Amino acid sequence: MTRDALVGTPYNPVNTVYDGRGPVDKLSRSLAFPVVMKRPGSTGSKDVIRAFSAVQFRRRIGQLTNKYPGERILIEEYI
């Protein structure tokens, strides 16, 4: 809800949600690295993962989707 409230302001980090559909390669080409990834409903930092490159992103998003099949993954710029 916070991200929705900040849409259009300079305070909202660039973000997207991966729903498990669509090619990860195409998504990785549209990102500016580094990025962080986590489940949107996750609290705390246990499952927050950083990726510094497209190769690292593809590997790590695979880890998250395998660990949490069928769940969405929030991807946002690393600040």
Confidence band of 11 (pLDDT split at 50, 70, 90): confident
State pLDDT tens for residues 14-70.
Answer: 889 999 888 998 999 999 999 999 988 887 787 899 999 999 999 999 999 998 899
Domain 14-77: top CATH class = alpha beta
Single out the residue of 49, 51, 48, 18 nearest to residue 32, CA to CA.
Answer: 51
**Residue 3 pLDDT > 80, yes or no?**
no
Give the residue extent of every domain in the chain.
14-77
Residue linked to tokens 């990726």: 51
Per-residue pLDDT, 5: 86
